[in-house]
A and B are shown apart, each in its own frame.
Chain A
Amino acid sequence: MSDQKALCREALSAAVVGFRLGMEGQASENLAKFVDCFLPLLQEAKQLNVDEVNHLFGEVLAAQSRKDFLRVADLLEYEISRLLAD
């Protein structure tokens, strides 16, 4: 589990950097990696509130589709990353 979280954090961090620097390809690829890592955690971690997770990812996708990359980076760095807290 901790390895999985480490992979998630790594992908998330790379996505945040990519979105902040306007490197859309790199950012999106790492965001996809993060989602792939995160899904198994979501199934196992019973303390996670699925409604909250859905809401946050909805916001991320909305910001991404309007190309508001700073908002995407903020959401990932300050909101989504909380979901990975021990």
Chain B
Amino acid sequence: MLLQRPLMEKVSVVIMNHAVAAQSFQYFDHADWLADSRIELLLAESEDEVQVPFAAVPSCLQLASDAAARLRDLVFLELATPFMEEKQTAKQSLLQQRLQENMSLLCSDGDVAELFASRQGERVLVAGAGPTLSTHYQWLAAQAGQHLLIAVDAALQPLVANGVYPDIVVSIEDSPGALKFFEEVELPTVSCRLLVYFPWVHPDILNIWPGLRLAAYPDAFQCEEVCKKHPKGSLFSSGTVSHPAVDLAVKMGAAEVVLLGMDFSFPGGKSHVEGSSFISGRDEQSNDHWILDGHGSRVATASNYRGFLRDLERYIALHPQVKFLNGSKQGARIEGTSYIEGDWR
């Protein structure tokens, strides 16, 4: 069909699974299109990004090989983008209302930009709420004070329960459900810590936080009037609190960012680390959605986790000056990170 368009100059066909392609070439005659000089055959593993415009048969993408997993996810992410944007637009009025509710605090609270460039050249630890976070408790407790620890809100309770007190907690969720992350913590124990938040988090979270609060806007935030009146620094955000937590570490000047509990998958059949309010069981063997873990094995995931992972990888690719380390091979393999080996600590 595409080749029938006379204006078509080149069609790049990307092979997503060598074995399936070989079988197909063996059993079916593809000469009609393969003979066309405008056709170029590419291997998925050689392609870092989706080229637009593109055409894909989503059902067939289920046959993508392990090596093509990243490109497959980027195609699905591209296909899901209009839907996600529509959802985001539909949420605008709620976000605006919440922003108004928080306006007085937004005026009086500090600016996340106060932290920028304050940790030049340092190693900064960022704790997500993935199941593998628990493998780091002992070391995190022992190293207290040596490296700055930034945690996402869902990781706060499990960290504190294990004697680890993050220096900065990041919260961005508009959902009242995020209150649980804070309600179950003995908040006086974190009273000297900072909360970095987006202006639509539930007001109760802001009110019960015992320490200093610093506001931030997401980088794609479109609300010029508020931003002009109450300028605050911005942080990268593409759907998960892990993104602004990592971006905060980078903007603080970290030379090395260590990612802990950022699994983007269900290692051990769990969605979150033990002790997190959001934890739920998942079928580890589920073939619904999968990505590769640090060992190169498939690990079950969810479509939104897959998108979060690929967006983080794109972010990492844009920051070659920073070394990103991944704390565990049990969770997602994150492109652009290396693994913590041996006696790194």
Binding site for B on A (CB under 8 A): 21-26, 29, 65, 67-71
Contact = CB atoms under 8 A, between A and B. Distances in A.
B83 A22 contact: no
Nearest to B81: A23
B198 to A, nearest CB: 22
A24 B288 contact: no
| Top 3 closest pairs, chain A to chain B, by CB | A22-B58, A26-B83, A25-B83
B82 interface: yes
Nearest to A67: B62
A23 B83 contact: yes
B21 to A, nearest CB: 19
B39 interface: no
B80 A25 contact: yes
Contact of B303 (A24, A68, A71): A24
B20 to A, nearest CB: 15
Contacts of B303: 24-25
B339 interface: no
A65 B83 CA distance: 20
Nearest to B76: A22
Interface of B: 56-59, 61-62, 75-76, 79-80, 82-84, 86-87, 288, 303
Contacts of A26: 82-83, 86
A21 B80 CA distance: 10
Nearest to A71: B59
A65 B288 contact: yes
A67 B80 contact: no
B288 A22 contact: no
10 contacts: A21-B58, A21-B79, A23-B82, A24-B80, A25-B84, A65-B288, A68-B62, A69-B58, A70-B57, A70-B59
Contacts, number: 39
Residue of A22, A67, A71 with highest tally of chain B CB at under 10 A: A22
A67 B84 contact: no
Contacts of B56: 22
A65 B283 CA distance: 13
Given A65-B288, A67-B288, A22 B79 contact: yes
Given A21-B79, A22-B58, A65-B288, 10 more contacts: A21-B58, A22-B56, A22-B57, A22-B75, A22-B79, A24-B79, A25-B303, A67-B59, A70-B57, A71-B59
B59 A23 contact: no
A47 to B, nearest CB: 33
B122 to A, nearest CB: 39
Contacts of A22: 56-59, 61, 75-76, 79
Nearest to A69: B59
Contacts of B58: 21-22, 24, 69
Contacts of B84: 25
A21 to B, nearest CB: 7
A23 B79 contact: yes
Given A65-B288, A67-B288, A24 B59 contact: no
Contacts of B59: 22, 67-71
A79 to B, nearest CB: 17
A22 B74 CA distance: 12
Nearest to A63: B59
Contacts of B75: 22
Contacts of A67: 59, 62, 288
Contacts of A21: 58, 79
A27 to B, nearest CB: 9
